[in-house]
Amino acid sequence: MKKIILFVALLSVGLGLTACRSTGPKFNARAQTLTNLTSVSLTNQFSPAWLKESDEFFTLGPGDVLDVEIIGEATSRSSPIVGPDGKIYYYLLPGLNVWGLTIPQTRELLQNELAKYVGTPQVAVNLKTPGSKRIWMLGRFNKPGIYAMVAPMTVLEAVALAGGTMRSSSPVVTEELADLHHSFLVRGGKYIPVDFQKLLAEGDMSQNIYLQPDDFIFVPSSSAQEIYILGSVRQPRAIPYRDDISLVSAMAMAYGPAKEAWISQVTIVRGSLSDPKVAVVDFKAIEKGNAPDVILEPHDIVYVPFSPYSILDRYLTSIVNTFVGTVAANEGSRFSAGGPIGVAAPVGTGNGSTGQTPGGGGGTGTGN
């Protein structure tokens, strides 16, 4: 009961600060600048193999459309689509499973099966429309979208395909409208450590890796000033930045920690994802008045764990994977629905160093 009363008081403070914006920001004597930020390396390490072109051929999958024709029979031309079950239907043949086959392998399969009906046919097979392999290029690109991936493609080639990053059209000054420091690439739900500032602004080709199907690249706006509060809070969300925002007010805007939250190890991630700084804050001590509140900055990621962490680099990696996965899911949904680009939707739980909860430490989290 005491905790509920205390949180209501904190919420009132947060809402009160919001209401006072019209009279200017208030100085909070109890809020201080973070002084315990430390550099931590992610366990998602850069692999030199990503810089090498794959020698694997294009293989078919659901959504691909083919052009198939028996040479010499003009009426035999058709455009079968690879169905959700991986099969195509052509001529007199039953469904043929081509999922995972190359174009030459598909041609050989069709010729062998057609030979049962029409002697020794010569079959022409071409890829008409690729649909099974694609990459996502969203955010501040000139032509954001979902692009087919037929051949090996690097990050730079994909950026060119999306029309490059956006710049202002002012005749007086050229301004970069894309925030390269906070851009990222997601693969299989995990952050891939590509430094877009080094690649696109500084020409560092060591960052120009080859993409894989379903890779997701997001470039945020340079004017975005959100703070992200994730993990075990009642409403995970992106919070608009303001000059006087602190950890207490941000927590209040997320409606406070959830019941199972481990608030003695609230983590603040600051800086670019390629070179993050981390601070662990005892929010329980702040609640009790035994420690000062802390001032937040634009782009900070505030993560409230479900249980205590055990290994800091794994814990940070889990937080970053949760963040990029959340942004990718939200942006992908908005783009598919034709809605505005932004990050505000709630998120679920994150994974920890044990694959269950952040850090995988002992205890279930009871507000300690």
Query: What domains are there in the chain, each with its CATH number?
Result: 2-46+224-360 (3.10.560.10), 48-55+133-219 (3.10.560.10), 65-129 (3.30.1950.10)
Which one has a higher pLDDT value, 361 or 58?
58
Query: Does 351 score more than 50 pLDDT?
Result: no
Asked if residue 326 lies in contact with residue 283, where contact means CB atoms within 8 angstroms, the answer is: no
Q: Which of the four pLDDT bands, split at 50, 70 and 90, describes residue 18? A: very low
Nearest to 252 by CA among 267, 237, 264: 237
Q: Give the Cα separation of 215 and 280 in Å (integer).
A: 31
pLDDT of residue 364: 33
pLDDT of residue 57: 83
Asked if residue 125 lies in contact with residue 68, where contact means CB atoms within 8 angstroms, the answer is: yes
Report CA 96 to chain centroid distance, whole Å.
36
3-state helix, strand, coil in the chain (%, to 5): 30, 20, 50
Q: Which of the four pLDDT bands, split at 50, 70 and 90, describes residue 172? A: low
- Phi then psi for 38, rounded to 5 degrees? -140, 150
pLDDT of residue 119: 85
Summarize pLDDT for 61-115 with one digit per residue, the tens.
Answer: 999 999 999 999 889 999 999 999 999 999 889 999 999 999 999 999 999 999 9
Query: Does 26 score more than 90 pLDDT?
Result: no
Q: 137-141, 158-162, 346-350: lowest mean pLDDT where?
A: 346-350
pLDDT of residue 5: 46
pLDDT of residue 54: 84
Which one has a higher pLDDT value, 2 or 240?
240
Highest mean pLDDT range out of 14-23, 283-292, 333-342? Answer: 283-292
Cα 81 to Cα 58, 67, 96, 113: the distances in Å are: 16, 9, 11, 18
Q: Give the Cα separation of 238 and 210 in Å (integer).
A: 31
Cα 325 to Cα 184, 243, 355: the distances in Å are: 10, 28, 15
Q: Which of the four pLDDT bands, split at 50, 70 and 90, describes residue 219? A: very high
* Alpha-helix residue ranges (DSSP H) falling in the chain: 2-19, 103-118, 155-161, 196, 247-253, 283-287, 312-337
Which one has a higher pLDDT value, 71 or 10?
71
